[in-house]
A and B are shown apart, each in its own frame.
Chain A
Amino acid sequence: FMDIKLFDLNNDASLVIDIPDALCERDKVKFTVHTKTTLSSFQKPEYSVQRQHEDFIWLHDTIVETEEYAGLIIPPAPPKPDFEGPREKMHKLGEGESSMTKEEYAKMKQELEAEYLAVFKKTVQVHEVFLQRLSSHPMFRKDRNFQIFLEYDQDLTVRRKNAKEMFGGFFKNMVKSADEVLISGVKEVDEFFEQEKNFLLDYSSKIKDATAKAEKMTRSHKNVADDYNHISGALNNIAADNNTAFKKHLEKCAEVFEKLRVSISKVEDRMASDQELKLTELLRYYTRDIQAAKDLLYRRARALADYENSNKALDKARLKGKDVAQAEENQKQCLQKFDKLSESGKKELTSFKARRVVAFRKNLIEMTELEIKHAKNSVSLLQGSIEVLKSN
C-alpha cells in the first residue's frame, strides 16, 4: 500500500508520535499510540498507550473549549471509523455463500478483506495525522490534556456525554450558526481578515461540493471495477466449460481471461482507490480544516462583537456616571483579547494557506503519477493478452 500521509509532520524529533498498531473488536477500534520524546515535561522518554476513538474526540473538545487557544486553528477531529461498507458486504457474502462456487467465494472473501484493510488503514492514518498536527504546533504540544492523553497508561474512561450535555452541545451549535450569520454582518476593520472571511466562506461551500462529487465519482469507479470482476469470472466459466474440439484453444483463452481479470479489474480497482485516497481524502480533510479556520474567524468576530459591546457599555457608564472603572477595565480586557486573537489569527491563517497549497500540490502530483503508472501497467497487460489471443 502506498504511503498515504498527507503531511510530513514528524520532522521534529523532540516529540514523535505514531500509531503502529490498532485492534478492531466488533464496533470499537483500539489504537496503540506510541510516543517518543526528548522533552523534559514528560516523565518517560517513550510511551505506548491504548486509546479509543472517543478519547480522541474528548481531547479535541477540551482543546476547543480552552480559552487560550481561541486564536489558533484547532486541528479537526478525526471522523468516526466507518466499517459500514465492508460489514454490509460481509453480510451479503454470508447470505450468498450457498449459491457460489468455492473459488468465487474465496475470491470475494479476499476482496472483502482487502477493502476492510483499506478502511482500517485510512482511519488509522486520520487519527495519526490529528495527533501529529497537535504535536508539531508549538502551543498545542505544551497542552496539559495532550500530555495526559499521551502518558496516562490506564484507560482514560472518558465520560460519555450524557443526554443533557449532548443536547447542550447541539443547542450551542445552533446558536453558533445563528451568530455566524449575525457576525458576518459586522463591519470588519482589518483588510486582511475581510478578505480571508470572504474567501473562506466561498471556498468552504465549493470544497464541500467538490468532496461530495469526488466521492460519487470514486464510488462509480469502484462499481465499474466490480463489474469487470464479475464479467471475467463469467467469461472464465464459459471458456472452462466447453469440452469440444476447441478445448485446447479454449484452455488458453481461460488462462488469458484469468490474466485479464487481474489486469482489468484489479487495475481499475487500484485506480479507483488511489484516486480516492489522494483526491477525495484530500478534499475531505480540507473541508474539515477549512471549517476549523472558519471557527477561528468566528471566535475573533465574537471577540470583536464583545469589544464593541464593552465600548457601548463604557459609553453608557460614562453617561450615567457609575461603574466607569469597571467598564473601562472590561473594555481594556476585550481589546486585549481581540488584539491577541487578531495577531495569532493572522499568523495561523497565513501558515494554513501555505500548508494547504503544499498539501494539494503533493497529492495532485502523487495522484497523477499513480494514475499514469496504473494506466501504463494496464496497457502492457492488455497488449500481452491481445498478442496471446491473436496468436491462437
Chain B
Amino acid sequence: MWFSWSPVAWCCLVSSPEAARLSAEDISPSSNGPKAEPVLLDDDPDDPDDLFAGLTSCESIELSKCYQEQDIYSYTVCVCVCVYITFLSILINFYVCVCMYMCIYIYIYIYIYIYAFIYLYVFFHIYLFVCFLFIYTLFYIIYLFIKIDHSFLCICAHMSILIVINFFVFLGDGMNAYMVYKVLTKTSLSIFSRDEVCVKRRFSDFLGLHSKLASKYMHMGYIVPPAPEKSIVGMTKVKVGKEDLSSVEFVEKRRSALERYLLRTVKHPALLKDPDVLQFLESSELPRAVSTQALSGAGILRMVNKAADAVNKMTIKMNESDAWFEEKQQQFDNLDVQLRKLHASVESLVCHRRELSVNTASFAKSAAMLGNSEDHTALSRALSQLAEVEEKIDQLHQDQACADFYLISELLGDYVRLITAVKGVFDQRMKTWAKCQDAQVMLQRKREAEAKLQHANKPDKLQQAKDEIREWEGKVQQGERDFEQISKNIRREVGRFEKDRVKDFRVVIIKYLESLVHTQQQLIKYWEAFLPEAKAIA
C-alpha cells in the first residue's frame, strides 16, 4: 500500500511500451478463448533517469487521471496510530503514577501524599496531553504533506482513475487477423466493481462503444470524444506481417490514440457513469460490434445518414436568437481552419526533421570516410570525431522528431477531430430547433384544420382534431424543452471543453519546449566535447 503512494513509479512500471512481435508463429489459430502471448519487440530505450519518459504512453499524468491514495485511507492510518499511542500513553501514565505513589508513600505522611498524588497525577496528565497534542500535530502535518505530494504529482486530479492500454497481440491469421488490446483500468471510484480490471478488446469494440455513446448523448448536446479512425492501409501492412518501421509506428500510434480516447471519455463526468462505458471497461466478454464494419448494413445506413445530414445542414436556416451561439459557432469554425493549418505545418516539420536526421547520418558516414583518407593524422582524427558527433546528433534529431510527433502532431489530430464533434453538437442543436419549428408548423396546421372543421360542424372529426391538437401541443412543448436543455448542455460542455483545451495545450507546449531544451543541451554537450579535438589540429 505504501507503494501505491508513488503513482509515478507505478505508472512507469506498468506502462513502459512493450509491444507484441508480429510474427506468424505466435498467432494462435482459434479466435475464441484467445491465448494471448505477448512477445516483446525491441523496447524503446527509455532513459532510466527520466521518470517521465515512460509516460508518453499514458499521455502524461496531466492528461490522465492519477491514482491518488484515498484521503480516507491515510487519514484512517493516522487516526489508528494516534489512538494506539493514546492507549499506550494512558497505560504508561498509570504505571508511572503508581510508581510515584509508591515513592511518595515511602517519604511523606498519608494526608500529604494524597495531595501530592493528586497533584502529580494531574501534572502528568497535562504533560502527557501536551506531548500527544504535539504528536497528533506531527501526524497531521505528515498527512498533509502526503496529500500535497500527491497533488504536486497529480496536477489536475480530482477523480481517481487510470487507464493504460498495453500488451497487444495478433490473433487469427491472414486477412482475418485482428489486434487485441489489453485495457487495464485501475481505479478507486465506487461505481466500478473492482479496483483493478483488465479486459481484452478489439478495435471494432472501441468503435462500437463510440457509436453507442454518440447515439445516446449527441442529441442531448454532450460532446462525445471521437474514436480513432480506421485505417485500411495501415492495418493491411501490419497484417501482412511486415516488421518494418512504418508498421511498428502505426501500431504504436493506434495504441496511444486508443488510450487517449478512453481517457477523454472517462474524463467526461456524464459518460463515466454510463453503463456502456462501465461494461466496456469491466466485463470480460463483450458482444462483437458488427455494426462498425464499413460494409455492414449499419455501416451503409450510417453513410446514408451522413449524406442526409449534410443536405439538411445546407437547407436549415436557423434564425439564431442567442448571440452566444452564433459567436461560438464562428469561433469554432475559425479554430478548425487554424488547427488544420497548424497540424499540416507540424506534420511537415516531422517529415523534414526525419529527413534531416537521415541526411546527417549520411554526412557522418561520408565525413568518416574523408577522415580515413586524410593523411594528416591530427586532422584525420578530428574529422573522424566530427563524424561521430554528427552521428550522435542524427540520433538526437530522430528522437526529437518522435517527440514532435507524439506530443504535438497526434494531439492536434485529436483536437481537429474533437472540433468536428463539437460542430456536430451544434448541428444537433440546429436539428432540434428544426424539429421544434416543424412541430409548431404542424400545430398551426392542426389548429387551422380544427377551425375549419368547427365551421363545417362535424362533431366526431372535431374531437379527433382536438386530440391531435393536444398531442401536437405536447410535442411542441417537448420540443421547446429539448431545445432549452440542449442549449444549456452545450453551454456547459463548451465551457468545459475550452477549459480543457487551454489546459491541454499549455501542458503539451510546455512539455514540448522542455524536450527542445533537452535537445539543445545535448547538442551543447556534444559540440563542447568536439571543440578540444578541433583545437588539437596542429
The stretch from A20-28, A60-68, A322-330, A367-375 touching chain B is A367-375
Q: Which of B345, B386, B516 is A264 in contact with, Cβ under 8 Å?
A: B516
**A377 → chain B, closest Cβ, in Å?**
9
- Residues of A in contact (CB 8 Å), total 55
**A195 → chain B, closest Cβ, in Å?**
8
Cα A230 to Cα B349 with chains together (Å): 9
Cα A392 to Cα B360 with chains together (Å): 38
| B342-A234 in contact (CB<8A) | yes
**B531 → chain A, closest Cβ, in Å?**
5
| A385-B513 in contact (CB<8A) | yes
| B331-A242 in contact (CB<8A) | yes
| A361-B524 in contact (CB<8A) | no
Cα A76 to Cα B196 with chains together (Å): 75
> Can you list, as one digit per residue, whether each of A221-250 has a CB less than 8 Å from chain B (1) or not (0)?
101100110110011011001111010011
Cα A369 to Cα B524 with chains together (Å): 10
| A357-B379 in contact (CB<8A) | yes
**Residues of A close to B339: CB separation below 8 A:** 238
Cα A217 to Cα B360 with chains together (Å): 6
**Residues of A close to B211: CB separation below 8 A:** none
**Residues of A close to B376: CB separation below 8 A:** 353, 357
The stretch from B31-39, B76-84, B362-370 touching chain A is B362-370
| B367-A210 in contact (CB<8A) | yes
The stretch from A42-50, A107-115, A198-206, A335-343 touching chain B is A198-206
Residue of B nearest to A205 (CB): B373
Are A203 and B373 CB-contacts (below 8 A) given A372-B528, A382-B513? yes
- Other than the given A223-B356, A353-B376, 20 more pairs (CB < 8 A) read A209-B366, A210-B363, A213-B363, A213-B367, A219-B359, A231-B346, A238-B342, A241-B334, A241-B338, A242-B331, A360-B382, A361-B379, A364-B386, A365-B535, A368-B527, A372-B531, A382-B513, A382-B517, A383-B517, A386-B517
| B355-A213 in contact (CB<8A) | no
Is A80 an interface residue when CB atoms closer than 8 A count as contact?
no
Q: Which of A202, A242, A364, A372 is B524 in contact with, Cβ under 8 Å?
A: A372
The stretch from B276-284, B305-313, B502-510 touching chain A is B502-510
Are A368 and B534 CB-contacts (below 8 A) given A220-B352, A235-B342, A375-B527? yes
| A386-B366 in contact (CB<8A) | no
Are A379 and B366 CB-contacts (below 8 A) given A227-B345, A361-B379, A369-B531? no
Cα A234 to Cα B344 with chains together (Å): 10
Is A378 an interface residue when CB atoms closer than 8 A count as contact?
yes
| B359-A220 in contact (CB<8A) | yes
**Residues of A close to B373: CB separation below 8 A:** 199, 202-203, 206
Chain A to chain B: the 10 pairs with minimum beta-carbon distance, closest first: A220-B356, A227-B349, A213-B363, A361-B537, A234-B342, A364-B534, A217-B359, A223-B352, A210-B366, A230-B345
Cα A227 to Cα B355 with chains together (Å): 13
| B370-A207 in contact (CB<8A) | yes
| A360-B355 in contact (CB<8A) | no
**Residues of B close to A382: CB separation below 8 A:** 513, 516-517, 520
| A375-B334 in contact (CB<8A) | no
Is B201 an interface residue when CB atoms closer than 8 A count as contact?
no
| A379-B517 in contact (CB<8A) | yes
Is A216 an interface residue when CB atoms closer than 8 A count as contact?
yes
Are A375 and B520 CB-contacts (below 8 A) given A217-B356, A242-B331, A368-B531? yes
Q: Which residues B107-132 have CB closer than 8 A to chain A? A: none
For B339, B345, B360, which residue has the most chain A Cβ atoms within 10 angstroms? B345
Residue of A nearest to B537 (CB): A361
Is B353 an interface residue when CB atoms closer than 8 A count as contact?
yes
Interface of chain B, helix or strand or loop or mixed?
A: helix
**B409 → chain A, closest Cβ, in Å?**
11
> Can you list, as one digit per residue, whether each of A86-107 has a CB less than 8 Å from chain B (1) or not (0)?
0000000000000000000000
| A376-B524 in contact (CB<8A) | yes
| B498-A244 in contact (CB<8A) | yes
**Residues of A close to B535: CB separation below 8 A:** 361, 365
Are A360 and B379 CB-contacts (below 8 A) given A372-B531, A375-B523, A386-B517? yes
Q: Which residues B348-393 have CB closer than 8 A to chain A? A: 348-349, 352-353, 355-356, 359-360, 362-363, 365-367, 369-370, 373-376, 378-379, 382-383, 386
| A223-B506 in contact (CB<8A) | no
Q: Which of A203, A231, A238, A253 is B349 in contact with, Cβ under 8 Å?
A: A231
Is A390 an interface residue when CB atoms closer than 8 A count as contact?
yes
**A211 → chain B, closest Cβ, in Å?**
9
**B184 → chain A, closest Cβ, in Å?**
31
A-B contact pairs, 12 of them (CB 8 A): A206-B373, A213-B365, A217-B363, A223-B352, A227-B345, A234-B341, A360-B379, A361-B382, A364-B534, A365-B534, A379-B524, A382-B516
| A224-B513 in contact (CB<8A) | no
Cα A238 to Cα B527 with chains together (Å): 36
> Can you list, as one digit per residue, whether each of A346-358 has a CB less than 8 Å from chain B (1) or not (0)?
0000000100010
Q: Which of A231, A371, A383 is B527 in contact with, Cβ under 8 Å?
A: A371
Are A224 and B352 CB-contacts (below 8 A) given A237-B338, A238-B338? yes
Is B335 an interface residue when CB atoms closer than 8 A count as contact?
yes
**Residues of A close to B517: CB separation below 8 A:** 379, 382-383, 386
**Residues of B close to A372: CB separation below 8 A:** 524, 527-528, 531
Is B530 an interface residue when CB atoms closer than 8 A count as contact?
yes
Q: Which residues B162-197 have CB closer than 8 A to chain A? A: none
Is A9 an interface residue when CB atoms closer than 8 A count as contact?
no
Cα A379 to Cα B519 with chains together (Å): 9
| A234-B534 in contact (CB<8A) | no
**Residues of A close to B352: CB separation below 8 A:** 220, 223-224, 227
Is B478 an interface residue when CB atoms closer than 8 A count as contact?
no
Is A57 an interface residue when CB atoms closer than 8 A count as contact?
no
| B353-A234 in contact (CB<8A) | no
**B152 → chain A, closest Cβ, in Å?**
14
Is A214 an interface residue when CB atoms closer than 8 A count as contact?
yes
Residue of B nearest to A213 (CB): B363
**Residues of A close to B524: CB separation below 8 A:** 372, 375-376, 379
Residue of A nearest to B408 (CB): A231
Is A389 an interface residue when CB atoms closer than 8 A count as contact?
yes
**A280 → chain B, closest Cβ, in Å?**
10
| A206-B366 in contact (CB<8A) | yes
**B366 → chain A, closest Cβ, in Å?**
4
Residue of A nearest to B339 (CB): A238
Is B293 an interface residue when CB atoms closer than 8 A count as contact?
no
**Residues of B close to A250: CB separation below 8 A:** 502
Cα A383 to Cα B518 with chains together (Å): 10
Cα A349 to Cα B13 with chains together (Å): 63
**Residues of B close to A210: CB separation below 8 A:** 363, 366-367, 369-370
**B124 → chain A, closest Cβ, in Å?**
53
**A346 → chain B, closest Cβ, in Å?**
15
Cα A250 to Cα B374 with chains together (Å): 56
**Residues of B close to A242: CB separation below 8 A:** 331, 335
Is B521 an interface residue when CB atoms closer than 8 A count as contact?
yes
Is B471 an interface residue when CB atoms closer than 8 A count as contact?
no
Cα A385 to Cα B511 with chains together (Å): 12
| A389-B509 in contact (CB<8A) | yes
Residue of A nearest to B341 (CB): A234
Cα A244 to Cα B345 with chains together (Å): 25
Cα A364 to Cα B91 with chains together (Å): 80
